[in-house]
Structures are given as structure tokens and as C-alpha cells.
Structure 1
């Protein structure tokens, strides 16, 4: 709701669509620049405290904005500063709330919890946009900001009463541990000191980035999601041009398409909540299926055919997103998950900023139909090629040296990085 009202407010102040886009970029920029640090903070600090403070701060920012709007003291510069502050707090709030939610259920139910979270998020986007229009129309912009601020404070008030579920993976770094505790360890001597140094968690940003890059599953997931984000997914742009251009329909028809997309996203989140052990291979297969449906949608001769294709396309891609989020939040060890989500926040923001301009350029060259078809085929072709290369790599026989069959050959040392 707040983002919708913010866009309306920028338009009201400036009358410029470019300024509206700038405000969105300013709010997203911190995720590109400081998400790594935000993820490290989530790993270092207790999650309940971190989520409580971040939710409260977001509420304070919203309420301050409401006061400034009500007193007519808000200009574009102040609004952009507040948007940047909101984006910065969100780099900590996002992973903190996600991982805290996982702590509230047994380990085996984490995929379902993530799916339910995706369902709530999708429903919240629909309800928030509608509530923003109602609030601004009947009560004014200040009231909409105030309502959102109170909602943050409500969540912050509930967090202290949450209790981890029995069987949940609990990992909390107390405030006294970390750098100070690790600094005391080198002063000790002997085998005990060596064991303590080995056990001390490395809470640095660099360690989180290194872990992400050394983990093939996470790198592959980043590749799958990145190519899908760049050549697809931006349906607010591609389908809007397709509906109002080649299909010669109006804004009302695009509204119907958007509604079907949202409904498909909710249905996909419900189905995704049933996944127990999703894999990167499943994410890639679903992304390729959605890409082929996207290509078919680009060839739609009418709105009716487009609607038939858009629903399963949205369902498949929502399940793929839920499966990818589950892998992302369950694959790393508990003490690394905040930093892994921080790395993910940076790279996914990069895709989000790069995708629309590149897709817009493709639309300029190939038109709306061409962009959907080419984008879908590029996604599906790339993922298919990646799968074949991986299969070829695993099928390549490893040469057996003399003596290995009977165990007399010298054995290589095992790498600790394995």
C-alpha cells in the first residue's frame, strides 16, 4: 500500500512519470548496495530482536511521512530520502522476518511455511493496491501512510510473544559473541584453543559471499532466476504493450490480464506450499515451462487465448519462485542464511534494475510479440542447454589409475572445502 501511495504522491508533487520511476529506484538501490551487510547483521544479531527493531523503524518512517504530508512539509527531496531510508531498513528486515518465520515451524514444514508466506505476499500485493486507492480516495494520502505505519508497529508488538516450534532449527548469535569472542581466542594456547578457533563462526560479509560462490546449487539457482528475470517476468511491461498494441484492446482488458496473473500467482503459491524437498532442477524445469508458455502467449491471436495461457503461466512461475525460495532458505547452514539472503538480495535487485531496460530495447527491435517469443525461447533454450551440459559432465567417465582397483594407489587428501 505504501509503495502505491508513494507513486501517487510523487506524481502529485511533480507530475512526472520519470520522477516516479526515480523514487522506486532510490528505494530499491540500497538492496543492491548494502544487502550483504544487512544479511550479515541478521546472522550476527538475534532474529527476534532484529525483526522487531526493523519493523518498528519501518513504522516510524511511515508515520513521519504521514505527519509531513498532513502538515504540507513534504517535498520531492525529503520523500526520496525517506524512500532510501526505507530501502536500507528493508535490507535487514526482509531476511530477518523470513528466517524468523522459518523458526516458528518444525524443520520438515519449512517449505510449507515459505509457500504460505508467498501466498500472503501475493494476496497482500493485491489487497494493498486496492486499499491504497480506497484510503487515498476517502481519507487522503496521510491516512494511508499512517495506516501502514500502524501495521508495522502491530507486527513489532507481536514479535516478542512468538516462540520457536519444537523441532525447529534454532540459531541465534548472542550479542557478546562474534568479533570480540573470536579476538580472545588467539590469546589461548594448545589444542583447545585451535578447536575453539575452528568452531568460532565467521560472521563477515566476505565469508557469506565466498560461501555463496562456492556452492554450485546456489550459483545455478542464481543463473536460472537471473535469465528468467531478464527475458521474462516483466509482464507489466510486455503484456501491457501486447494488449494495448497488437491485440488492440484497452486498459480494462489489461486490468483483466493483470488480475488473472495475480490469481495464478496465488494458486501457484498454494501448490508450492505442498513441496517438501524442492531442487534447483525442479526450479529450472518449471522456469522453462513458464518460458514456453510465455512464448505461446506472445503469439496469442486474441485476448481470450491470452487469458487461457496467462493463468497456467503465472501458476508455474509462482511454484518455481516458491521452490527457489525454499532452496535458498534451507540449503545453507543456519548460521549462514542471513548472509546468503543478503547476497541474493543484491543480485536479484541487479536483475530487477537491468531487466526492464533490456526488455524495453528488445521490444523496440522486435515488438511486443517478438520480445515475448524471443525471451521465452532464450530462457527455455538456455536452461535446456545447461541441463544437457550438466548431464554430459556427470556422464564423463573418470580415468582409473593403476592400483586404484585394488586399493594400492596413493589416496588424495580430502579438501576441507568439500
Structure 2
């Protein structure tokens, strides 16, 4: 099915994405403010790093359970209450700051509880998207999401610094308002967020474990999804190492902190460009072709980091590589969301997210160790070899090479929907 109707003419999608972007902007302001606040309280950068690491740890701990709960609960109500809960919890920080009584125990408590609600919200948001837009608009919707997020990241840092300069509590107050705005926009959406109302069975530990197991078994039984998951997790290992690697490469060529920031600005602009292209490419070409071509282009681009002679060249490489990422991601997410039965999307997407997040965390730790052992240029070459191996694997796999996204459910998804 094809149509020329723009995704931006879909009013429910505008509300769905707009509320999320406002909430993301609030999160970006708090992301800068929180470590600065912790350093002010404790004088310890290590404490600041631990607070920021709570979000990753939370996803790894509760991600699989969150997916099962999202499949069990009403998604719209879940998302609204998550936003209200995050608003109330975040508001406790500026309120307590009025009396200069903020403690690290409260900071950690807010970080953990809001992290749990964030995992639930993001899982519900992703699984609801195919119900908010028609199937033929899903690639464009995912592309618009990536492009908008990249555009937000370009301006987010400067806005974050400005709001923190106005007062330590200002970013947190803004974030509280952003959560409430997001809740209001969700309430205004008319489209159902799932195909049918869930029965919401009584919470049972054994039943919940069984639901998680069913989701994992269904995912493992899908050949293409299984291969995509392995490839993406392997790529996430390299991605996790990439952030520290680029910083060290920039320092290696004499970049100052402002120039290091400009390198990542180049990456954000590349992500914006890729997001604008991703929907059209993912909607026009088969998944297998997109995945293999993007992996080969990425494998060809990454070695350029090792030989870049200045921060400007690093920014150009970061731009070119970042154009690829959203195209690849949109193609894969379109396939996953279109082939996965609605009643299992939470469990499947949370399983993927947990694995990829874990792989990225491992990549960050291993990358830090390797930077100390072999240096940044050598690590860039090692990552390039890793990407080359992934490209060869994808090309050699006929299952992955010939995969294509389904607009109305493939034979694989229909068989999977009968799985129990």
C-alpha cells in the first residue's frame, strides 16, 4: 500500500511525538544539571558518574519485566501515570532545595524510581507507535522520531547550560513541566494504543516470569529477528566504546573541550540528516539490502577516525557515520514492529533493548580498558575490523540478506502470533 499523505498530517502522531520531544528536552536539561548538582553537593565526579549510570543499571534490571507489564497493562494509562509519577518525583528535588536540605540519598532515590518509570514509558511508547500511525507510515514515523531527537540534541546542550545558569533548580522545574505537558498530549490522543484492551490479570510472580519467558522464546524462534538481535548487540559493543574513543582521538589531535563538543555536534547533525532520509529508504528498499549496505558503509567509514588529522576531520567522519545509524535503525525497527504481534511487542522490544543496552555498557567498559592498553588509533582499527566482520556475516546470511519488512504481517509473524 502506498500513499503520498505526509506523516505530519496525522494529528495523533504530532501529539504523540510532540509530547515525547518536550519530555526529552526536559530530560536533556536535567542530564546536564544532575551531575553538576551532585558535584556541588559532594565534590566527587565519581558520585556524579554513578548517578548517571543508574539509568543503564535500571534498564538492565527491570527491562524484561517492564516489557511484560506493558503487554499486560493499558499502554495509554501506563504512559500517562509514568509521566505524572516522574513529574512528582522530580519535583521533590527543587522543593527540597528551597530549604537547602537535598541529600545524596534523595538524589539516588529519585534517579532509581524515575529510571523505572522511564523504562516503562519508553517501552510503552515504542510498542504503541504502530497503533498510532498506519502501517505504511511506520518507516516515516520512525524516521521523523530519529530526526527530531537528533535536532533536539543539537540545541539541547546549549539550552541546558543556559537554564542551569539561571539557577540550579531551573532545569528540574522545566523537566517537571515537560512531564506534565507530555501527559496532557497523551490524554488528547484519540487512537487506541493497542489492538484490544488487555485483561490485566492479577499480578503474580510466576505468571510474570512465564510471560517474560514466552516473549523470549517467541523472539528466539524468529530467524530474522534472532540474527538482527545478534548483529545489533555486536554493533552495540563497538558503539559503547565509541564515545570515549572519539574523545581520546580528538585529544590525540590537540582538540580543546569546545572542539570536542563540535565533533559530537557533527555527529548530531549527521543523525538529523539520516533521520530525514531513513523513512523513505526503509519504506522503499528491503530490510536485508538496507542492513547489509549500511553495515558495509559503516565498516568503510569507521577506519577514517584513526587517520583523521584534526578535529574538523573527526567531525566530518562523525557526521558521515551518524547519517548511517538512523537509516539502519529505522529499517530494523520497522521490521520488528511490523512482524511482532501487538500482544507481545512490549516483551520483544524490551528484550532487545536490554540486550543492546547491556552490550553497549560492556563495550564502554572494555573500550576504556583497551584505550589504556593499546591507545585510541589502535582501538579505532580494532573497531573497524569488528564492523567488517559484522558486514561479512550479514552478507553471508541468506536469511538476513533476503529479509524484508511486512506492512500487514508476514508469514513468520502470523505463525509467531499463534505461539504459546
Same fold (TM over 0.5): yes
SS state at 2:302 partner: helix
SS state at 1:329 partner: helix
> Which position in structure 2 is the counterpart of 1:362?
370
Out of 57, 63, 78, the residue aligned to residue 29 of structure 1 is 57
- Once the two structures are TM-superposed, the CA of residue 386 in structure 1 deviates from its matched residue by 4.6
> Which position in structure 1 is the counterpart of 2:195?
171
Q: Provide the C-alpha distance between the structure 1 equivalents of 2:349 and 2:370, rounded to a whole number of angstroms.
A: 30
Q: Which deviates more from structure 2 when the two are superposed, residues 358-367 or residues 104-113?
A: 358-367
Alignment check: 8 A CA contact 1:61 1:82 kept: yes
Mapping 1:304-383, distance limit 5 Å: 304-383=312-391
Q: TM-score, normalised by structure 2?
A: 0.81
Alignment check: 8 A CA contact 1:229 1:352 kept: yes
Out of 246, 249, 252, the residue aligned to residue 242 of structure 1 is 249
| In the alignment, structure 1 residue 84 sits paired with structure 2 residue 112 | yes
Q: Provide the C-alpha distance between the structure 1 equivalents of 2:358 and 2:181, rounded to a whole number of angstroms.
A: 32
Aligned length: 372
Alignment check: 8 A CA contact 1:136 1:144 kept: yes
Q: TM-score, normalised by structure 1?
A: 0.82
Q: Which deviates more from structure 2 when the two are superposed, residues 236-245 or residues 68-77?
A: 68-77
| Compared CA separation, residues 279 and 340, structure 1 to 2 (3 A) | same
Alignment check: 8 A CA contact 1:44 1:203 kept: no
Cα RMSD after superposing both structures: 2.7
- Once the two structures are TM-superposed, the CA of residue 228 in structure 1 deviates from its matched residue by 1.5
- Once the two structures are TM-superposed, the CA of residue 159 in structure 1 deviates from its matched residue by 1.4
Q: Which deviates more from structure 2 when the two are superposed, residues 98-107 or residues 332-341?
A: 98-107
> Which position in structure 2 is the counterpart of 1:266?
272
- Once the two structures are TM-superposed, the CA of residue 340 in structure 1 deviates from its matched residue by 0.9
Alignment check: 8 A CA contact 1:205 1:339 kept: yes
- Once the two structures are TM-superposed, the CA of residue 152 in structure 1 deviates from its matched residue by 0.5
Q: Deviations over 1:42-76 (max 9, x none)?
A: 11122211111111111112212221233222222
Out of 84, 93, 96, the residue aligned to residue 121 of structure 2 is 93
Unmatched segments (≥5 aa) in structure 2: 1-28, 204-208, 403-414
Out of 70, 82, 85, the residue aligned to residue 57 of structure 1 is 85
- Once the two structures are TM-superposed, the CA of residue 417 in structure 1 deviates from its matched residue by 6.2
- Once the two structures are TM-superposed, the CA of residue 179 in structure 1 deviates from its matched residue by 6.3
Mapping 1:20-169, distance limit 5 Å: 20-138=48-166, 140-164=167-191
Alignment check: 8 A CA contact 1:115 1:270 kept: yes
> Which position in structure 1 is the counterpart of 2:38?
10
- Once the two structures are TM-superposed, the CA of residue 164 in structure 1 deviates from its matched residue by 2.0
Unmatched segments (≥5 aa) in structure 1: 181-201, 396-413
Q: Deviations over 1:26-55 (max 9, x none)?
A: 222121011111111111122211111111
SS state at 1:156 partner: helix
Mapping 1:265-304, distance limit 5 Å: 265-274=271-280, 275-276=282-283, 279=287, 282-304=290-312
Q: Deviations over 1:266-297 (max 9, x none)?
A: 11111112221652552343133213211122
Alignment check: 8 A CA contact 1:104 1:163 kept: no
> Which position in structure 2 is the counterpart of 1:220?
227
Q: Which deviates more from structure 2 when the two are superposed, residues 107-116 or residues 9-18?
A: 9-18
> Which position in structure 2 is the counterpart of 1:409?
none
> Which position in structure 1 is the counterpart of 2:239?
232
Q: Provide the C-alpha distance between the structure 2 equivalents of 1:172 and 1:348, rounded to a whole number of angstroms.
A: 29
Alignment check: 8 A CA contact 1:32 1:350 kept: yes
Q: Which has the larger radius of gyration?
A: 1
> Which position in structure 2 is the counterpart of 1:205?
212
